[in-house]
């Protein structure tokens, strides 16, 4: 009883401080590297989508929303790194802390939501070709993106009620009923927004791969692209989201068991994997390239030097050649010729 009371007392004082200053110092520099690499990358991607690729004309609304989510995540990283460098897991200012958490979880949810939507689109186009595809209908309605962002708000607002990372969570303090409900809802959202999309993603991947095996050679180019899209999303999930989810579950277990020493280690692992999850702002451009060859070509012709342009534009990346696309699908050939990439702006 005394141990639990002591932990509860310390929870409001010590748990928001970094358990190991050197570890968090290293994590802060990792976030700085992510910011230095992610800011110009995402700014360049935004430039391509708006000025070269004209995403509103090419049914790439969902891709553009992922770019926006990644950019908003990147701009939050310097503040997070600053706190880590000063030995704090979060800002001591309540408004700054809640705003930062809100932004991080909102953009995380948006990135996951739009990535899964892209995977579902490829799934319906390949496995249920010819049937009415509700995702394709949504892509033609730009307003639906606003609706998706608004739907994410109720799932993100609980992070502002009490700080999620350290000050009030299950097993830490004796809570009122309302606080307990808030904490429970927050944990459920944290886990379900990763686990349910990952299950959907694995299902889509398996079905698309099975479809690829049954198709003839002349039809495989489009299917290979679909496989690359969903596999790239699987890679993003496996590197960025699943590890921190598992670490969160382990952390909660140690906390509920009042294993303070083990919890201090688990906290460092969890925070480290959360920092790793921010790498998705660097990996998502790979998804854009696999989703839309027009975007890939636009990026290459805008930012790569001449000799490198030719090599990258002529590379097949195992997805089939341009000639295959022309011979198997005349409509696809027309799109290749009239792609915005050929326009000079």
Contact 87, 17 (CB under 8 A): yes
pTM (2 d.p.): 0.78
Contact 74, 102 (CB under 8 A): no
Phi, psi of 292 (to 5 degrees): -145, 110
What confidence score (pLDDT) does residue 130 get? 66
Contact 35, 81 (CB under 8 A): yes
Length of the chain, please? 345
For residue 6, what are the β-bridge partners?
none
Q: First and final CA of the chain: distance in angstroms?
A: 70
Residue 244 CA to residue 193 CA, distance in Å, equals 12
Structure tokens at 19: 């358990």
Q: What is the DSSP letter of 319?
A: S
Phi, psi of 162 (to 5 degrees): -140, 145
For residue 199, what are the β-bridge partners?
none
Q: How many helices (H) and strands (E) does the chain have?
A: 16, 0
What confidence score (pLDDT) does residue 148 get? 82
Which residue from 283, 335, 287 is spatially nearest to 117, judged by alpha carbons?
287
Contact 191, 245 (CB under 8 A): yes
Residue 70 CA to residue 242 CA, distance in Å, equals 18
Per-residue pLDDT of the chain (345 residues; tens, 9 = 90+): 334 434 333 444 346 778 888 899 999 999 999 999 999 999 999 999 888 888 777 678 888 888 999 998 999 999 999 999 988 888 777 778 778 888 888 888 888 888 888 888 778 877 777 666 666 666 666 677 888 888 888 777 766 665 555 644 555 555 555 566 777 777 888 888 888 988 988 888 888 888 777 765 456 666 777 777 788 888 888 888 899 999 999 988 888 888 888 888 988 999 999 999 999 888 888 888 777 778 888 888 888 777 777 776 666 554 544 333 333 333 333 333 333 333 333
Sorted by where each starts, the structural domains of the chain and their CATH numbers stand as 2-342 (1.20.1070.10)
Q: What is the DSSP letter of 162?
A: S
DSSP labels for 129-196? TTS--HHHHHHT-THHHHHHHHHHHHHHTHHHHS-TTTTS-TTTS---HHHHHHHHHHHHHHHHHHHH
What confidence score (pLDDT) does residue 32 get? 95
Residue 333 CA to residue 322 CA, distance in Å, equals 8
């Amino acid at each position: 009883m005394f141990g639990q009371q002591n932990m509860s007392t310390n929870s409001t004082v010590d748990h928001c401080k970094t358990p190991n200053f050197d570890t968090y110092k290293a994590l802060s520099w990792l976030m700085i590297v992510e910011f230095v690499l992610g800011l110009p990358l995402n700014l360049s991607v935004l430039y391509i989508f708006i000025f070269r690729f004209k995403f509103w004309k090419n049914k790439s609304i969902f891709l553009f929303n992922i770019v926006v989510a990644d950019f908003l995540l990147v701009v939050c990283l310097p503040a997070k790194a600053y706190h880590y460098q000063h030995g704090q897991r979060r800002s001591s200012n309540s408004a700054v802390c809640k705003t930062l958490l809100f932004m991080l979880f909102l953009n995380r949810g948006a990135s996951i939501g739009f990535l899964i939507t892209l995977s579902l689109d490829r799934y319906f186009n390949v496995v249920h070709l010819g049937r009415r595809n509700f995702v394709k209908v949504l892509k033609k309605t730009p307003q639906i993106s606003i609706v998706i962002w608004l739907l994410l708000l109720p799932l993100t607002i609980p992070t502002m009620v009490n700080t999620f990372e350290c000050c009030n969570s299950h097993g830490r303090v004796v809570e009122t009923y309302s606080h307990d409900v808030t904490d429970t809802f927050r944990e459920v959202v944290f886990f379900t927004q990763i686990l349910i999309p990952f299950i959907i993603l694995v299902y889509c991947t398996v079905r698309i791969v099975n479809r690829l095996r049954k198709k003839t050679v002349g039809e495989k180019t489009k299917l290979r692209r679909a496989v690359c899209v969903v596999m790239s999303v699987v890679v993003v999930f496996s590197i960025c989201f699943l590890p921190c989810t598992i670490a969160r579950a382990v952390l909660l277990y140690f906390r509920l068991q009042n294993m303070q020493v083990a919890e201090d280690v688990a906290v460092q692992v969890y925070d480290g994997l959360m920092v790793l999850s921010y790498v998705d702002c660097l990996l998502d451009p790979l998804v854009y390239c696999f989703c839309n060859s027009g975007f890939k070509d636009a990026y290459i012709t805008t930012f790569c030097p001449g000799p490198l342009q030719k090599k990258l534009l002529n590379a097949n990346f195992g997805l089939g050649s341009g000639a295959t696309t022309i011979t198997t699908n005349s409509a696809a050939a027309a799109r290749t010729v009239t792609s915005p990439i050929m326009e000079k702006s």
